[in-house]
Structure 1
Amino acid sequence: MRFRNLTRRREIGANCYLLESGKNRVVLDAGMHPKEVGFDALPDFGALPHDTADSILITHAHHDHIGALPVLMRKQPNTPVFMTEPTGEITSAMLHNSVNVMSSQREELSIAEYPLFTHRELDENRAQYIYRDLVKPFELPNGDLTATFHDAGHIMGSAGIMIRQNGSSLFYTGDVNFESQTIARAADFPTEGIDVLVVETTRGTYERPQDYTRKGEKERLAALIRDTFDANGSVLIPVFALGKTQEVMLMLHELHEEGLIPEMPLRIGGLGTKVTVLYDHYADRVRRNYPGFRLLEDVRMLVAPRRKRGPGRPQIDYQPRTIYALSSGMMTEGTTSNAFAAKFIDNPRNAVAFVGYTDPLSPGYRLRTAKAGEKIKLSPDLPAVELHARIESFDLSAHATREQIAEYVEKVKPKKLLMVHGEEPSQAWFSARFAETLNSDTEIIRPETHAAIDLW
């Protein structure tokens, strides 16, 4: 069994990995890079000849893990795609939205190759989606491999993947959270009998304060909302449409029910609403907190999104004493949160609450690290805005902390450890820690693009 990293660089984005055993080829994830455009955003599929993959396995439906799936499926036209049912249904919604975004970018940014796939193609692809339940092993075609999905605790449907072959095993974590969130329960991962561990390293540079509690972070957020309400301002919470929108909706519902925040309207975006429909559809059928709770029906603060009239996305108007949970979480150019912030952050009564990861090159990171009075340019097509709103950050990430991931690795003690999904400084922290905590029985590997790594 060999492993190849199909990402173009050692960093977060365009996740895609290839397992080769004899003539059998298995692909793990097929993401698109969030900071690149066009063909540069795709994984490097050069090591995978046309129509040679036997199976594709998907951990979860975030763009950096599924964004290139239709392109891969075009290159592998007869290959089944295995995932959990919630991941498959969300994948369809997210990729249809991706076609719309790319079609707009073709016009606005003159990207000739966009869209990289079509709505019709996505509809046809669904015939190759095969859904599998958690913790139930299944055979992969054309070989001697079996696979099992294990709940990753990241977003609805997310799973780590166990691959077994003749007594040897590989476990790929995908994105994982080892502590419960508001909806998502903590990951339920195996710890024994794992020869090769492929692990995410997203938060390797973040050191959590020793006195941290999730309850404390939620209470800090409640205090910010109360202060902003008293000032007759509004709160913008940049969120990802998938996962973070639904977590924030339920968290705000909890805070209101507990009397920690006043009655305030909650506004969410269009894609966030579409994904929330799916979260509600599976409310009784997935491993989660609040089983049966339906966000669009039971969150009393929520203002039903207005239907859009004519072309373009629906207009979200500013109102005082309102909470806006708008995507994207990193305030990427062209997204609802980016455009809304440009007419929001100059008001000293308002507040922006960051509740998740922002890439150092993203507009969200620029804003969360800016000083009061500084002029911020959120997008090339928008004028610079003087920052007067209050900016706060909260550790409510859907990714495990570096210490939690390290402790999991140290419990597993694999023969080979492959570190992926992390920037260089993040992986360097893990390497330094494991040099002290893991003995020579574990080989630590940071896979280079396309380098063939023998696993067993």
Structure 2
Amino acid sequence: MSTVDQKLDDALQTIKDEIPADISVSDVTYEGPELVVYTREPKKFAQQGDLVRQLASKLRKRITVRPDPDVLAPPAKAREQIRSVIPEDAGVTDLDFHADTGEVVIEAQKPGMVIGRRGSTLREITQKVGWTPEVVRTPPIESPTVSNVRSFLKQERDDRRDILERVGRQIHREQLSEEQWVRISTLGCCREVGRAAFVLSTADTRILIDCGDKPGSDDVPYLQVPEALGSGANSIDAVVLTHAHLDHSALLPLLFKYGYDGPIYTTEPTRDLMGLLQLDYLDVAAKEGRTPPYASEMVRETIKHTIPIEYGDVTDIAPDVKLTMHNAGHILGSAVSHFHIGNGMYNVAFSGDIHYDETRLLNGAVNDFPRVETLVLESTYGGRNDYQTDQSDSEQKLIETISEAYDRGGKIVIPAFAVGRSQEIMLVLEEAMRTGKIPEMPIHLDGMIWEATAIHTTYPEYLNDDVRDRIFHDDQNPFLADYFNHIDGGEDERQRVADDEQCIILSTSGMVTGGPIMSWLEHLGPDPDNTMIFVGYQAQGTMGRRIQSGRDEIPMNDSRGRSNRLKLNLDVETVDGFSGHADRQGLENFVKTMNPRPEKVLCVHGDERSVQDLSSALYHNYNMRTFAPKNLETFRFK
């Protein structure tokens, strides 16, 4: 008998010893990090309110209870009974029954009302019909991305179950080595921004953390080194994704092209945003005449192999590694990833990208952990003079700039990144108009901004407490304000907006490197009454940086592809302080208040000056060992 089968037998015996005599368990199996328990008495299981929690505590596993298919109420009857249990105000929009697993997926506008206090409504559903309920939110704004991901995962349920069972057996396999050590190898984003990728290794396990591209460059992570994929793609046991931005996620599908067939762990909103951005990455490459590094099929494989985990859940991802994700405050679903290695042997935290202070959109990054010996810390704004404007001052300057532009009778165009920055600006504008700080006018959203916003509205539990309360308790979703309009009519609609009343336009791309912002410059650029406001970092070499620096003539291609010059007469303003990254003070505060404070810090994801400045400051101010590693270095701990 294999070690895994022995563990399952032991788990089955423990469960039988713990449950009442009138409840039977027919089988147990692993699906990814979860232990799935099959029973012919799901209703009795549900009646014992704390039983699953007690078993999870005893076995130190996440547990899902499923009924044997032949004891389930027929779907037609179950549908009627489920609707009788759930309050009408929950806004149930769909019930989807899966007899193979005994699960019913309940889609509702207010999932909390379906769950009930401490899961009471879910237990009542199982008591009545036997089916195991799973609850998902109906997106308040229709999202093709969310819909497509859910439909695809439904279509691939059989394959996904096979993947999860295989992953589960891999997680719970026997540890082969008696050695105990930890290594971190740097495959990218060291003394540079972009192509984030690291390998965390133990004697038994290899985990890849992030796998991104480098904006404006063809450089990719050093995946072919022996520590990574040099011994084959499946020498990696698991992948952990900190967040969806392309400099962290773009090349994950490449792993599947190389033959990887294992799990990717991340949060649920990161999974959806990742799919959106990766498909757009392929579209941009095709439009620019570049050969994409992988096909869209590999994006689907990436999604199919993703195992979502929630903030704070301790999750087994290898025989000797547990992962816990915590809010990083950077973008929706971004996570500080904490790895507990061995039986208390060592703990490592990867910050991903972080914002330490609370913003309008997100709560600040979590830095409270049971233990951390080593921290891998982003340093994007780690330079000695990298201090950002206070958020309230930034908002006030934005409001004043918009008011002055409105008084001149012009239109305002704001280039913005689709994920994070745009939603932050939307919240500022919504409140400013609602409270009369700026005149009410249409706010047009162009490019991927509307779709990214729709994904944000699907996961309000990941947003700032105030925004979440407005959505959950006050039924005042700020993203549904009447001011916002989705530009979905292409060039004809852009022309109408340009000819119509005063307005604000939020458009991708944030660095003016292509996309709909180029059309808006063509429509609005020649008029000196109009204003362009930069609210995000403009990288060296981008068109946004050139315009920000005073360039008033830019190359443009006409409808026939011929190159022309466009004269820019519009006013150009910059409002700092809306970055999703912590500035120098925020990074220091993150480390200074970290509980416990780490013994070692690796400063990464910043240019050479930034990482060295931050590394030096942390060493001198907090008396800890710090490093500013180069790519292709390996650090051994223990």
TM-score, normalization: structure 1? 0.89
- Mapping for residues 24-423 of structure 1, pairs under 5 Å: 24-36=205-217, 40-47=218-225, 48-49=228-229, 50=232, 51-106=234-289, 111=290, 114-141=291-318, 143-166=319-342, 167=344, 168-190=346-368, 193-205=371-383, 206-208=385-387, 212-284=389-461, 288-291=465-468, 292=471, 293-296=476-479, 298-308=480-490, 316-317=494-495, 318-319=498-499, 321-332=502-513, 334-370=514-550, 374-377=551-554, 383=565, 385-412=567-594, 413-423=597-607
Pair 1:235–1:6, CA change in 2 (3 A): same
Q: 1:81: how far off?
A: 0.2
Pair 1:3–1:56, CA change in 2 (3 A): same
Pair 1:169–1:352, CA change in 2 (3 A): same
Q: 1:339: how far off?
A: 4.2
User: Is 256-265 or 425-434 further displaced after alignment?
Assistant: 425-434
Matched-pair identity in %: 24
Distance 1:237 1:207 in 2: 23
- CA deviation profile, 1:378-422 (whole Å, cap 9, x unmatched): 679552534542322231111111111112223444222101111
Pair 1:286–1:393, CA change in 2 (3 A): closer
- CA deviation profile, 1:40-69 (whole Å, cap 9, x unmatched): 242121222222110000111111111111
User: Is 315-324 or 238-247 further displaced after alignment?
Assistant: 315-324
Distance 2:477 2:295 in 1: 31
Q: 1:323: how far off?
A: 0.7
3-state DSSP of counterpart to 1:303: strand
What 5-or-longer segments of structure 2 have no aligned partner?
Answer: 1-181, 558-562
Q: 1:117: how far off?
A: 2.1
Q: 1:343: how far off?
A: 4.7
Higher-Rg member (1/2): 2
Cross-structure match for 2:608: 424
TM-score, normalization: structure 2? 0.64
Pair 1:83–1:8, CA change in 2 (3 A): closer
Q: Report if the CA contact (8 A) 1:147-1:164 is conserved.
A: yes
Distance 2:464 2:432 in 1: 23
Q: Report if the CA contact (8 A) 1:353-1:394 is conserved.
A: no
Cross-structure match for 2:48: none
**How many residues of Structure 1 are paired with residues of Structure 2 in the alignment?**
433
Pair 1:178–1:41, CA change in 2 (3 A): same
Distance 1:53 1:256 in 2: 51
Distance 1:72 1:379 in 2: 37
Pair 1:152–1:9, CA change in 2 (3 A): closer
Among candidates 163, 188, 200, match of residue 19 of structure 1: 200
Q: 1:307: how far off?
A: 3.9
**Cα RMSD, aligned residues only:** 2.2
- CA deviation profile, 1:102-142 (whole Å, cap 9, x unmatched): 22122xxxx3xx2222223322332201000101110113x
Pair 1:201–1:259, CA change in 2 (3 A): same
Cross-structure match for 2:160: none
Distance 1:176 1:277 in 2: 23
Pair 1:157–1:378, CA change in 2 (3 A): farther
Distance 1:161 1:9 in 2: 18
Distance 1:204 1:177 in 2: 12
Structure showing greater relative contact order (alpha-carbon pairs closer than 8 Å, 6 or more residues apart)? 1
Distance 1:382 1:169 in 2: 57
